[in-house]
Amino acid sequence: MDYKKAYQNWLNQPDLDVELRRELEAISDEKEIEDRFYTDLEFGTGGMRGKMGAGNNRMNIYTVAKVTYGLGKYLLRQDIQNWEKGVVIAYDSRHNSRKFAETAAGVLGKMGVTAYLFEELRPTPELSFAVRELKAAGGIVITASHNPKEYNGYKVYGPDGGQMVTASADALIAEIAKIEDIFDIPIMTLTEGLNQKIIKMVGEKMDNAFTDAVTSICIPNPDSDLKVVYTPLHGSGNQPVRRVLAELGYQQVTVVPEQELPDGDFTTAPYPNPEDRSVFTLAMALADECGADIIIGTDPDCDRVGVVGRNQKGEFEVFTGNQTGALLVDYYLKTRTDLPDNKVVIKTIVTSELGGIVAKSHGAAVLDVLTGFKYIGECMTDFENTGDYTFAFGYEESYGYLAGNYARDKDAVVASALVCEMTDYYKKQGLSLYEALLGLYEKHGYFIEDVVALTLEGIEGKSKITAIMENFRTVSFPGFADAKLIGFNDYEAGISNDLLSGVKSEIDLPRSNVLKFVFDDYSWFALRPSGTEPKLKIYFSVTGKTQEEATAKKELLKKQVTDLI
């Protein structure tokens, strides 16, 4: 794409948004102009995410309108009875989220597709639930999850309440690619849409139904003395998480006051990611003051939750997503004795094996899917239709969890409630959550995980990521420490290589640019370019007989892999 021509085209638009024009005219750095216009902001199978601002490689009302127009075209090509069911739209606390949501509603409304717009910010899992509850044709969430304040994003959901999977997403991407002029897309105002009843507001009634669905998964604790510190990290979790915990009986919940209210600047947490220990600094101080048993924190769109407890020295431990997931799998399966024999736990290919080993010890089947909760949701819908399995629990290492069939996306509301329920369960036995984790390790082995994320932006970054992936497809990596490499999976080629027998077999999963190296002691590492950020992610999972052994092996493996990169 000729970035100079694209830049000039924007400036030549007579009706260009005033703020975006002012922003463009203030840019003097040629590199900045190139980055904004050298390509269109990509809508991939995971949706669209990018920095906000002027330009076709930025999130703004025009790029949002383009994607929504493509979605409308996609729906209108389906059976008429389908698109007439409408599209549900939710958004989080980020700057411009409300504006982008109204833009999407206005585009759909002008096309004759009913838009159900949430009246205020709501958690992403409530959107998933609402699509199913309203039997809508699909859904949209305006969010950039845990990204810094400069970012926003756009995710599309199918009629089952799950994010669009490969076939549907490819058809939608094809429709978007046909749109040539992003400045010529008709949009109705919110007032027009409400007057014509083609845009409808969603609010309290849906909140009540969502709360009922979440609490039905949990065991009430009316006499609980559990002390909880909670932070919504300036996002959409504040009201739904507190409401669910209160209805379940947790009366000693203290919210971090500085992080309670929605704030698109994320003033106290510039990187509002519950994987990052620094976001819990205020919560830890508050936990010390009130003697809390547990700290929980949800990301801005409230689909992921971080958990902080105390170790045996009384120091705060931020649990990894793998640790929390394994604990929840163990607790949920041993307390839900009414689950049928065909129960299944679903996790992703970059999630630790510990949760799977724990699930099998409770008689559950375990399935691995590609990275992204949408693949867990896809399996849930398939099993609901076929009856092959009964979904019990799904999770991924990036702090996303779900129990129950009311939604098709990870839910930090139900996960927060289950973490409190689980912590209370162990507290009544005189155990901390950390001690419960040590119990799992003692029984099943020590599993230590880590993730390295290399940020490689722009044209050069994209080329570097491609080169790294291609090099690792041919690299010789015999093993590390006393672990021997026994398997190499190339999910883009769809081939699993058994290095002991030399046999190659087909991987029964959609194609995805992921490489996974598997060793003979349950250890592994994987490389995956992010679908929503300019990053290459390297995942590590290492096992050992002791925590010290596993940690040392992990550091050795990390060094070998990063040296190769």
Reported residue count of the chain is 565
Cα–Cα distance list, 12 to 1, 24, 37, 543 (Å)? 18, 11, 14, 59
Tokens of 172: 């939608």
Are 95 and 149 a contacting pair, CB within 8 Å?
Answer: yes
Query: Residue 528 forms beta bridges with which residues?
Result: 537
Distance CA 433, CA 319 (A): 10
**Closest-CA residue to 215 (of 401, 409, 413, 399):** 413
Active site residue: 97, 145, 496, 523, which one? Answer: 145
Instruction: Specify the DSSP element, H or E, that contains 288.
Output: helix 281-290
Q: Which residues pair with 453 in a beta bridge?
A: 537
Count Cβ atoms below 10 Å from residue 75 Cβ, excluding itself: 24
Place of tokens 């909670």: 230
Cβ atoms of 446 and 529 within 8 Å: the answer is no
Cβ–Cβ < 8 Å for 415, 401: yes
Contact 524, 513 (CB under 8 A): no
Residue with tokens 């026994």: 486
Q: Decide if 305 contacts 399 (C-beta within 8 A).
A: yes
Beta bridge partners of 317: 309
**Sheet containing 48-51: order of strands:** 48-51, 151-157, 138-142, 87-91, 115-118, 199-202
Angle at 215 between CA 212 and CA 217, to 5 degrees: 115
Contact by Cβ (8 Å): 309, 295: yes
What amino acid is encoded at 230 in this protein?
Y
Q: Decide: 92 and 143 in contact? Cβ < 8 Å.
A: yes
398 labelled catalytic: no
Burial class (CB in 10 A: 0-12, 13-18, 19+), 320: buried
* Rounded Cα–Cα distance for residues 206 and 217 (Å): 17
CA–CA gap between residue 545 and residue 552 (Å, rounded): 12
Q: Are strands 115-118 and 199-202 parallel, antiparallel or unpaired?
A: parallel
* 537 bridge partner residues: 453, 528
User: Hey, is 373 helix, strand or coil?
Assistant: helix
Query: How many Cα atoms are found within 13 Å in the side-chain-facing hemisphere of 201?
Result: 9
Annotated catalytic residues are 145
